[in-house]
Every structure is written in C-alpha cells, then in structure tokens.
Amino acid sequence: METITIRQISLPAAILLIMSYSVFAQDKKKFTVTPGADIVSSYVWRGMYQTGASVQPSLSLSGAGLLLTAWGSTDFSNASDEYKAKEFDLTCGYGIGRFNMAVTDYWWSGEGARYGNYSNSHYFEGTLGFTLGEKFPLSLTWNTMFAGGDKNEDGDLQYSTFIEAKYSVNVNGIELSPSIGISPWTGLYSDGFGLNSISLKAKKDIVITDKYSLPLFAQVIAAPEHDNVFLILGISF
C-alpha cells in the first residue's frame, strides 16, 4: 500500500519497525508458526481500490503475546513488471488483555521497484487497538503513519490516520462483521475529515471433508469519501 531514515535507527528498533499487524488471539504460552493465504476478487484497502483479483499470502510467528507477521499481495494481471501490483508488509505487534499495539511497514511500490528506498517508498504506521470483550465484541483501532513516504507536497509528514470500529456477531453459523472507518484530517485517505469505509463482511466455513473446511467470505464496501462501492469475494487457506 493501496501506503526517520532507517540508517538512524538501531538494529533492534529497525527490526520492530519492519514487521506487520494482525490479531492477538492465541495461547500466549505456546509458540506457533502460521502460514496462510487469501484469494480475493479485488483488493480494497480502507475504502481505496488497490488492484484486481489477487493472491495474498501471509506468515506469522506468535508467542508470549508477541506477533510477527509478513503479508503480501500480488495481482493476477498480465501487466509488465513495471505496472504489476505487488505489496510486501511487515509487522511487529504485542497484545495484552483487551489491548494490542503494533508497528507496520507498508511497501506497495509494485513488481520491479527497488525495496530499499525507506524514506520514500515505505510507509511506517503505529497501531493501537482495544476490544470491549466477548459479551460486546466491539473493537476499536487507531492507525497513524509516522515516517517514510507519507508526505505532502511540501515534503512534510502528514500523519495520515485511519480510525475503525468493528463489531462481530454470529448469525446462524455465519460470522458477520460490520465496520466503519474514518479519517479525521488531511492525509493519504482524504483532503480533510472523511468517511472512508462502511463495510459488512460475511464469513462461512464450507465443509469439504470431515476434517477440512474452506473459509469463504463476501464483503460489501461503500466508500463515501471516494464515491465508490465494492463487492468482494474471497477464499482463505
């Protein structure tokens, strides 16, 4: 992404800065390695269209409340490398109780682009999240970019911010997740206060065998800030 000079950061801090965010719902006493992938009919991020049908693999390491995730996206188009969409995100996150925090490095410059241009082509973001609990499963997330390529025309950081509220409920075996996302000021997402995303996602496990089910999801997204709508189909592995 559809978005500090790294030399000035110590190696441990740099490692923390180049890891990507996920959910902290695991046994904190166990160390787990989790590969995964989604195939989506189109890729929409925070109400903004990124590219068409894509495969989105991930690899997560978790334990003791710490989660390290690598996440990527590549579209299925036949475009040349110069125009082919490619994203590679890394996150380091930590969860305790109902709170979680993370630092993410987004890179979505595309196939063939140089990865090492940290000051311009990488977007570093801090995330704070809170979940009210199982009886009222409302989660609130604040995301602010603080370094890298998130700059205005004058070259100043914009601190682009996306705030999201999401609620999850199970209805007749289908997991429904309505959400709303806003941008409070001028930045990557809008030219001021913006209502970026109103979404409803429905997920259901399709039984294949006695031991295997295939998670299928559909998501409808309205993006008032960009006067656009999306209907997405996805499969998770």
Task: Sketch the domain layout of the chain as residue ranges.
Answer: 6-236
Task: Tell me which residue has tokens 């930045």.
Answer: 187
Instruction: Read off the pLDDT of residues 143-188 as tens digits, 9 standing for 90 and up.
Output: 999 999 999 999 999 999 999 999 999 999 899 999 999 999 999 9
> Collapsing DSSP states into helix, strand and coil, what is residue 16?
helix
Distance CA(28)–CA(14), nearest Å, equals 24
Least confident residue range of 15-24, 61-70, 81-90, 184-193: 15-24
Distance CA(107)–CA(237), nearest Å, equals 23
Q: Provide the whole-model pTM.
A: 0.84
Category of 79 on φ-ψ map: left (φ > 0), alpha (ψ -120 to 50) or beta: beta
Give CB contacts under 8 A, 24+ apart, made by 175-178: 175/202, 175/203, 175/204, 176/200, 176/201, 176/202, 177/201, 177/202, 177/203
- CATH architecture group of domain 6-236: Beta Barrel (2.40)
Least confident residue range of 10-14, 52-56, 178-182, 211-215: 10-14
- Cβ contact 1:21 at 8 Å: no
The identity of residue 31, as a single letter, is: F
Going by pLDDT thresholds of 50, 70 and 90, the confidence category of residue 5 is very low
Distances (CA, A) of 94 to 36, 99, 116, 128: 20, 9, 26, 10
**How confident is the model over 28-34, as a mean pLDDT?**
81
**How confident is the model over 208-212, as a mean pLDDT?**
84
**How confident is the model over 24-43, as a mean pLDDT?**
80
**How confident is the model over 81-106, as a mean pLDDT?**
92
Instruction: Please say if the pLDDT value at position 206 is more than 70.
Output: yes
